Amino acid sequence: MEWISVKESLPNEEQIVLIAPKNARASHPRKTLIGYRDHGDLWIQLPNYWIIKETVTHWMPLPEPPKE
């Protein structure tokens, strides 16, 4: 799987995905989070349901769970 730019497409609303928000500060490393898009451009981080204030730049579907 590859990262998808939010400029190219967006996940379905409430589809849980990996998200990559833009760095808030240059001194902090970029984080990968689990979350979803709700009501347009509002991104929610799981499991705490925090609103992600940074701009999400990329997303990726979650991988399939293990078979066993």
pLDDT digits (tens, 9 = 90+) for 18-44: 988 886 555 566 778 888 887 777 788
Q: Quick one: how far is CA 58 from the chain centroid? A: 7
pLDDT at 25: 56
Q: Which residue has the higher pLDDT, 63 or 68?
A: 63
pLDDT at 53: 65
**Pairing of the two strands 33-38 and 17-21:** antiparallel
56: pLDDT confidence band, cut at 50, 70 and 90?
A: confident
The average pLDDT across 55-63 equals 89
Domain extent listing, the chain: 4-61
Total Cβ atoms within 10 A of residue 1 = 8
pLDDT at 24: 54
pLDDT mean across residues, the chain: 81
